[in-house]
Chains A and B, each alone.
Chain A
Amino acid sequence: MMTFDDPFEALFAIQRALDSRRASDWMGSSTTGVGSFPPINIFQRGDDFVAMVELPGVDKNDLEIEAKENTIRISGRKTIRYDEGASVHRRERVWGGFDRTIQVPIQIDPDCVTAEFQDGMLALFIPRAESDKPRTINIK
């Protein structure tokens, strides 16, 4: 369990947790493998899930998100503009179109998926479908 009492420890704790999950098989082989753009982290919060996607420099209007059954598709285009007549010293940023579909191994309610885009980070809030939530069985 991550705690955030100490602000210095907090970031370290996230990094450690993210590293230890590198070999996670949560998605199984159901999604496009690691290395596809954009990179995605998926977190659990209670019953629900949050996907954090790094999309720096992508305009909100160039981003499209679709949800269907238990798949979520993120597609769009990233464009970079250089000033005319500029001499380029260093070029590390990449641009182009992208299209990635993730298939989550849970039942979701596609109508309830919400998205926030801020500072080049896309956060997708993925609620687990009511029918998928565990139920306590009463013993008569």
Chain B
Amino acid sequence: MASQQELQVQQKREVEKKKETTVSWRTYLPVTDIFETDQALNVVLEMPGVGKDAVDVSVEDDVLTIDGRIDYSKYEGLQPVYTEYNVGHYARSFQLSSKIEQGNIHAELKDGVMTLVLPKVEKAKPRKIKIN
């Protein structure tokens, strides 16, 4: 059973930016699962430390963009003594292949995991063809 696999830490990958930012902080790619059902495209992103009010999701020109900001004020006054991972904001974009009903995107954030349900437009849904 796959659920018995040993969990490994996944190294965070940095976002490769098309444009450079003026400040040289780093932004990381959230680890993502994408799966499709007949009705919708589901995108699940892991963004530990990102709260509900700190996420932006948008779809423009068939590109889905997710931006998540961590609350780094929590690190105020803390001196690192032992570290295994870096912290930073999260950002990721996906080119969508199916047509999405942009007004009906449903987003949920729980325990640092963002679940997006992007319903397909009617004509993009699979149709059963009846054979006469």
**Chain A residues within 8 Å of B, Cβ to Cβ:** 2, 4, 8-12, 14-15, 17-19, 21-22, 24, 26-27, 34-45, 49-50, 54-60, 78-80, 82-83, 85-98, 117-121, 123
Contacts and interface: CB of A to CB of B under 8 A. Distances in A.
Interface in B68-84: 72-84
B5 interface: yes
Contacts of A44: 78-81
24 contacts: A2-B78, A4-B73, A9-B23, A11-B89, A14-B87, A15-B26, A17-B80, A18-B80, A18-B86, A34-B84, A37-B9, A38-B9, A39-B9, A39-B84, A44-B79, A45-B77, A49-B81, A78-B7, A79-B3, A95-B5, A95-B7, A96-B4, A98-B7, A121-B48
Contacts of A24: 80-83
A77 to B, nearest CB: 8
Contact of B85 (A39, A91, A119): A39
A94 to B, nearest CB: 6
Contacts of B83: 18, 21-22, 24, 41-42
Interface residues of B, number: 50
Given A119-B112, A120-B46, A120-B112, A12 B23 contact: yes
B37 interface: yes
A103 to B, nearest CB: 11
Contacts, number: 181
Contacts of A39: 9, 84-85
Nearest to B84: A39
Contacts of B76: 2, 4
B86 A2 contact: no
Contacts of B66: none
A79 to B, nearest CB: 7
Contacts of B109: 119
Nearest to B4: A96
